[in-house]
Amino acid sequence: MSSWSVLSVAVPLGLGLYASFGALRSGASGWHTRLRKPRYNPPHSMLMPLFALVLTLEGIAAFLVSNEMMLARHTPELVAVRAGQLGLGFYWLQVTFLIFWPALLAFGPSLKLALANVTVAMLFQLAAMVEFFRLTVAGGLLMLLCFFVVSALTAWNAALIQARSGVLPL
């Protein structure tokens, strides 16, 4: 295992867990219990493992794409290298937005700001997924799986806003 493979998984996972530890650890569930929640609310104990899984799978996808870029440099496929660079750029942008989502959800000024943050992360994740698919199917499929999970978290965040405003029946 190369040092890049360890870094591509460890950096997003470490940053994400560090940034979200205060919001998602099991002892800090006070904010979660005070929220008015819809019926399909995930248990608080599932948020941290789910978040860690998403960041780990995204790191593996980034590693697969970087390996394909290294192989493409030895061939005339310059398009693959550019797709990889663009995809990794989108990947790091979405990781940057995604790691702050739990803290904004728990400690931020509003749930709407957390929703805007996770929506921007999801859009960057979609762009990264498209570029990852141009390079490697495995990396694109991992990002697709993560995209579905983040989409579900985005819908949950939106449902929290609607439940708080009383739009949806509980």
The pLDDT value recorded for residue 78 is 63
In 3D space, the residue among 2, 109, 100, 123 whose CA is nearest the CA of residue 51 turns out to be 100
* pLDDT surpasses 90 at 125: yes
Query: What's this model's pTM, rounded to 2 decimal places?
Result: 0.78
* Tens of pLDDT, residues 5-33: 567 677 777 777 676 666 666 555 566 66
CB 137 within 8 A of CB 41: no
Residue 135 pLDDT greater than 90, yes or no = no
